Amino acid sequence: RYIRQLQRLQLLLSPTSADSRGARQFVEEAAVDFARQHPDVVLYVSLRSGRAPVLLAEYLNGTVREELIANKTNEEIVQLATKLAGQSGLDIIRIRKPFHTDNPSIQGQWHPLTNKPSALTVQGPRLQPK
């Protein structure tokens, strides 16, 4: 059971400015293919003139990521979109450990007294002479 963490992709275009040429080409050619390959991602395209073209990605835990797509070619936008689709909404900061377990020890956690004979069997020094 795999649930994609990307909720929506909002593409803000502007029909006239030159830096959203790649975005317009993406919308014309590759957007439908992208939507078919990722059926659980919703793709919105809205035309806003007077603003830089931006790809907004919203994830299931509420984080919103903006990526500028000004002056990018069609293929680059496709790669960006697939990268965003594979990410989850966690912050991209330094992670201390590359693994995470809920049950770290199964056979009991090691403490310095494992594998040592118990105090009952160890023979101490005999105080009374025999």
Among 46, 50, 107, 123, binds another protein (CB under 8 A): 107
Question: Is residue 92 at the binding interface for another protein, with CB under 8 A as the rule?
Answer: yes
Considering only 46, 99, 111, 128, the residue that binds another protein (CB under 8 A) is 99
Q: Is 123 in the site for another protein (CB under 8 A)?
A: no
Q: Which stretch binds another protein (CB under 8 A): 16-24, 67-75, 99-107, 122-130?
A: 99-107
Question: Among 8-16, 42-50, 66-74, 97-105, which window interacts with another protein (CB under 8 A)?
Answer: 97-105
d(CA 90, CA 25): 30
Asked whether position 110 contacts another protein by CB under 8 A, the answer is no
Binding of another protein at residue 51 (CB under 8 A)?
Answer: no
Strands of 54-59's sheet in order across: 42-47, 6-13, 54-59, 64-68
82 CB-side CA count, 13 A: 10
Backbone phi, then psi, for 107, in 5-degree steps?
-90, 20
For residue 93, state whether it binds another protein (rule: CB under 8 A): yes
CA angle 118, 121, 125 (to 5 degrees): 110
Nearest in space to 57 (alpha carbons), one of 22, 19, 89: 89
Options 102, 109, 121, 122; binder of another protein; rule CB under 8 A? 102
**Whole-number Cα distances in Å, 34 to 30, 37, 119:** 6, 5, 69
Site residues (vs another protein, CB under 8 A): 2, 4-5, 83, 85-88, 92-95, 98-104, 106-107
